[in-house]
A and B are shown apart, each in its own frame.
Chain A
């Protein structure tokens, strides 16, 4: 009997595995593991590295990369079924099925063929429909945010709605666009919107019921709370912004999530919010079980340029001065690169990854010090980066093989103006205008913050996300609608395919049946490439 039990167990597990696979259920062990046959979160795993250990597509054979399928999802309306607009979501891949979004829409397609499996549509009551980053997954369930402020859970099998919960107030001009991240028994959501002066926050929801477990406000809500001394008064603080536009990253061992927060509000005209404006434009470590803050670091104290510091806080373990450290790095929209100890928040590296003109120097904490002369002025201040920033929402990649963080960067100038000179400007009491810029893909050495190599995009800025792999290739979009593969060590362009539209998301990869696939969105279409065997 003894000898049979394991066999029975194996048989049961195999049968269960087959059933789970047929139902599409996500194996919990895949969450947080390096993404290979599964890509179960926005970044592939919890680290935000967007690095794959797969190497069947590599620098030596990249010229044989083939187009395997094209999938143009339909919204079900209009000529040809209706366009998805711009797909900025990174698809999840679970048991051979890709799940991805556009505002108000979720699709499931076959990861081997691009064939449509199901389409879910949300009946919208409004909100900004500028983009949606994708779904989160747990068990048999998917989670996504709608522009009209709902967290919706769907059945992975057929896209039917399980429940929905309100996560923000549409009348206060919030909206939903973030890809939820599921960890432990938490669905972590963020909020978007900076048209009026509202506080940003992050929430945790129960993955079974959708009930809210906690909410952490980015800006203190009462005088006396931690960070409140960085605001002139409670009114400014409570309306101080700090939207949580991007998915969090997560260290399972430290049990901390890393939240990157958006711009303070009023965004450009900051006269009535003197001070550092904590915890806007900060990297914040929170306990995911309680929502309590462990530490913070602020890349842009008292920003007045709309430089949301919401670029991915990328987690990796690497050596600093011969010692293995747990690190977090960010190439921030303000043009500065930071490496921190992710257990403590202590700064290790601060450097410019493009030349900027807005900071007077670096303070003792490693944070840039804003130059008041380069804050928006009535008659204009010439500033670099421009409002679009040196980096924006498209996710970068960190490659542990090279120790380089790759980011699609921009060096651009514009003139920042104050429109409302009153003592209490609100909303958009200013803006920037015009500009000249150039785009380049930069490989930043985490140890020094220095640029190891920089590849200039001849046609201007490439604003795509990046994937890098153990195959010594990285994938990015240029400004001429090309998906480009570059060598991770040298930046040499190795391969390209013109997709007819700019790359609009972060490329992702997975291996099925021994074949490595590469999937990328350009405009309203997904393209599946593969290293097909003969």
Chain B
């Protein structure tokens, strides 16, 4: 990726560009883990918004045809890439097509075509000689690139950057992880069961949920429930999985599966038992280096 990015805006030939685009298609394309089957705003990656009126932009927005994108890539590589760069983001001397008002107003070449035919310079074929089909394909490719810059189109690259040995030391030392966990017990083979990203998310946020921002994603679901013990003044204490708790009421599901709810009063004792409290406290203490080291350590527990 780094090598590819360094070529942005540089002059390269079609033979060099094709493998790059193939790489891009594999990394970010419709079959990649980062993308769903369709490519338009609101239908992009996981965590993206739904399409239609809930999505960004006009209802009559350009809908990308991936087959045409493939053809458009070739037109782009032959005629445009030298100036406008790999991702159509332009350079000091050429327009950023992702931000181009002509492109953003375009539908299937109806703006791009007339603009080019006014005599816009190209690499090989004069713009006036480009066919309507080539312009439409080019339009699909550029709109594809526009949509790829929008929310949730891309994904996390690599979180495996820490020092496993230091992570092990933190695990059994300052992090106090060893108080509840064992690399040969409950965590044996955990590096095989989860991706590094999920390891990172799961050890930081074992309760799951927490979606992050709009278009962001939550951590994996929790492995253990939060429980609560309620003791009425007349006894006996009732313990169960916490269903809801606010200033006025508490509800739980007890060991027999029965739902129980109580009005909270000064004489009703309520004790919440959060199995993840040590993880929550860790958030205030752990450094980013510790975090990366622990991920490397856990990933090594094969």
Most buried by B among A129, A147, A387, A415: A415
Q: Is the Cβ of A427 less than 8 Å from the Cβ of B246?
A: no
The residue on B at minimum CB distance from A195 is: B56
With beta carbons under 8 angstroms apart, the residue of B55, B210, B215, B248 that contacts A386 is B210
28 contacts between A and B (CB under 8 A): A125-B58, A126-B53, A128-B56, A193-B56, A195-B56, A195-B150, A196-B98, A196-B146, A196-B149, A373-B288, A382-B288, A387-B216, A414-B210, A414-B213, A421-B157, A426-B89, A426-B98, A426-B99, A426-B149, A427-B151, A428-B150, A434-B201, A434-B212, A434-B218, A435-B205, A435-B219, A459-B244, A496-B247
A197 interface residue, CB < 8 Å from B?
yes
B41 interface residue, CB < 8 Å from A?
yes
The residue on B at minimum CB distance from A170 is: B58
B60 interface residue, CB < 8 Å from A?
yes
Q: Which of B1-9, B73-81, B125-133, B166-174 contacts A (4 or more CB under 8 A)?
A: B1-9
Interface flags, A119-142, vs B, CB<8A=1, else 0: 000001111111000000000000
Known: A434-B205, A435-B211. A419 touches B155 (CB 8 A): yes
- Chief secondary structure at chain B's binding surface: loop
Q: Is the Cβ of B213 less than 8 Å from the Cβ of A387?
A: yes
Q: How far is the CA of A387 from the CA of B157 in the complex (A)?
A: 19
Most buried by B among A195, A387, A419: A195
Chain A residues with Cβ below 8 Å from B1 are 421
Q: How far is the CA of A180 from the CA of B82 in the complex (A)?
A: 46
- Segment 233-282 of B: residues with Cβ below 8 Å from A: 244-249, 272, 279-280
Interface flags, A407-440, vs B, CB<8A=1, else 0: 0000011110111111110111101111111000
Q: Is the Cβ of B99 less than 8 Å from the Cβ of A386?
A: no
Known: A196-B98, A379-B161, A428-B152. A386 touches B246 (CB 8 A): no
- Segment 284-329 of A: residues with Cβ below 8 Å from B: 306
Q: Is the Cβ of B213 less than 8 Å from the Cβ of A386?
A: yes
A65 interface residue, CB < 8 Å from B?
no
B292 interface residue, CB < 8 Å from A?
yes
Q: Is the Cβ of A124 less than 8 Å from the Cβ of B59?
A: yes
The residue on B at minimum CB distance from A492 is: B247
Chain A residues with Cβ below 8 Å from B292 are 379-380
Q: How far is the CA of A480 from the CA of B217 in the complex (A)?
A: 23
Q: Is the Cβ of A433 less than 8 Å from the Cβ of B283?
A: no
6 tightest Cβ-Cβ pairs between the two chains A and B? A435-B210, A387-B213, A427-B149, A434-B219, A419-B154, A480-B246
Q: Is the Cβ of A173 less than 8 Å from the Cβ of B152?
A: no
Chain B residues with Cβ below 8 Å from A424 are 8, 89
Q: Is the Cβ of A171 less than 8 Å from the Cβ of B213?
A: no
A406 interface residue, CB < 8 Å from B?
no
Q: Is the Cβ of A172 less than 8 Å from the Cβ of B104?
A: yes
The residue on A at minimum CB distance from B55 is: A128
B156 interface residue, CB < 8 Å from A?
yes
Chain B residues with Cβ below 8 Å from A125 are 58-60
Known: A435-B219, A436-B283. A171 touches B58 (CB 8 A): yes
Q: How far is the CA of A306 from the CA of B215 in the complex (A)?
A: 12
The residue on B at minimum CB distance from A357 is: B284
Chain A residues with Cβ below 8 Å from B162 are 379
Q: How far is the CA of A480 from the CA of B207 in the complex (A)?
A: 18
- Residues on A lying within 8 angstroms of B by beta carbon are 124-130, 147-148, 169-173, 175, 193, 195-197, 235, 239, 306, 355, 373, 377-382, 384, 386-388, 412-415, 417-424, 426-429, 431-437, 457-459, 478-480, 482, 484, 493, 496
Interface flags, B49-62, vs A, CB<8A=1, else 0: 10001111111110
Q: How far is the CA of A239 from the CA of B101 in the complex (A)?
A: 12
Known: A382-B204, A431-B216. A129 touches B53 (CB 8 A): yes
The residue on B at minimum CB distance from A416 is: B212
Known: A413-B283, A480-B246, A496-B247. A432 touches B5 (CB 8 A): no
Known: A426-B98, A427-B151. A432 touches B245 (CB 8 A): no
Chain B residues with Cβ below 8 Å from A458 are 245-247, 272
Q: Is the Cβ of A422 less than 8 Å from the Cβ of B54?
A: no
Interface flags, B188-221, vs A, CB<8A=1, else 0: 0000000000001100110101111111111100
B158 interface residue, CB < 8 Å from A?
yes
Q: Is the Cβ of A496 less than 8 Å from the Cβ of B98?
A: no
Chain B residues with Cβ below 8 Å from A496 are 246-248
With beta carbons under 8 angstroms apart, the residue of B41, B204, B216 that contacts A195 is B41
Known: A239-B99, A379-B159, A413-B283. A175 touches B201 (CB 8 A): no
Q: Is the Cβ of A415 less than 8 Å from the Cβ of B58?
A: no
Q: How far is the CA of A356 from the CA of B291 in the complex (A)?
A: 18
Q: Is the Cβ of B105 less than 8 Å from the Cβ of A417?
A: no
With beta carbons under 8 angstroms apart, the residue of B8, B210, B288 that contacts A380 is B288
B26 interface residue, CB < 8 Å from A?
no
Q: How far is the CA of A104 from the CA of B192 in the complex (A)?
A: 50
CB B166 to nearest CB in A, in angstroms, measures 15
Most buried by A among B99, B212, B245, B249: B212
With beta carbons under 8 angstroms apart, the residue of A130, A388, A427 that contacts B213 is A388
> Can you name 7 extra interface pairs (CB under 8 A) apart from A196-B146, A382-B204, A459-B245?
A125-B60, A171-B61, A195-B41, A196-B149, A379-B157, A431-B216, A434-B212
Q: Is the Cβ of A306 less than 8 Å from the Cβ of B246?
A: no
Q: Is the Cβ of B57 less than 8 Å from the Cβ of A170?
A: yes
Residues of B within 8 Å of A, CB-based: how many? 69
The residue on A at minimum CB distance from B61 is: A126
Q: Is the Cβ of A126 less than 8 Å from the Cβ of B59?
A: yes
- Chief secondary structure at chain A's binding surface: loop
Q: Is the Cβ of B158 less than 8 Å from the Cβ of A378?
A: yes
CB B103 to nearest CB in A, in angstroms, measures 9
Chain A residues with Cβ below 8 Å from B219 are 433-435
Chain B residues with Cβ below 8 Å from A493 are 247-248
With beta carbons under 8 angstroms apart, the residue of B153, B156, B214, B249 that contacts A433 is B156
Interface flags, B140-151, vs A, CB<8A=1, else 0: 000000100111
Chain A residues with Cβ below 8 Å from B2 are 421
Interface flags, B30-51, vs A, CB<8A=1, else 0: 0000000000010000000100
Q: Is the Cβ of B158 less than 8 Å from the Cβ of A379?
A: yes
The residue on A at minimum CB distance from B104 is: A171
Q: Is the Cβ of B60 less than 8 Å from the Cβ of A196?
A: no
B187 interface residue, CB < 8 Å from A?
no
Q: How far is the CA of A484 from the CA of B248 in the complex (A)?
A: 10
Q: Is the Cβ of A377 less than 8 Å from the Cβ of B288?
A: yes
CB A175 to nearest CB in B, in angstroms, measures 7
Known: A378-B157, A414-B212, A428-B215. A436 touches B205 (CB 8 A): yes
With beta carbons under 8 angstroms apart, the residue of A171, A381, A428, A432 that contacts B154 is A428
CB B229 to nearest CB in A, in angstroms, measures 15
Q: Is the Cβ of B60 less than 8 Å from the Cβ of A126?
A: yes
Q: Is the Cβ of B209 less than 8 Å from the Cβ of A175?
A: no
B286 interface residue, CB < 8 Å from A?
yes
Most buried by B among A169, A428, A432, A496: A428
Known: A125-B59, A478-B246. A195 touches B212 (CB 8 A): no
CB B47 to nearest CB in A, in angstroms, measures 8
B70 interface residue, CB < 8 Å from A?
no
The residue on B at minimum CB distance from A128 is: B56
Q: How far is the CA of A516 from the CA of B258 in the complex (A)?
A: 42
Q: Is the Cβ of A147 less than 8 Å from the Cβ of B291?
A: no
- Segment 1-26 of B: residues with Cβ below 8 Å from A: 1-2, 5, 8
Chain B residues with Cβ below 8 Å from A169 are 101, 104
Q: Is the Cβ of B200 less than 8 Å from the Cβ of A415?
A: yes
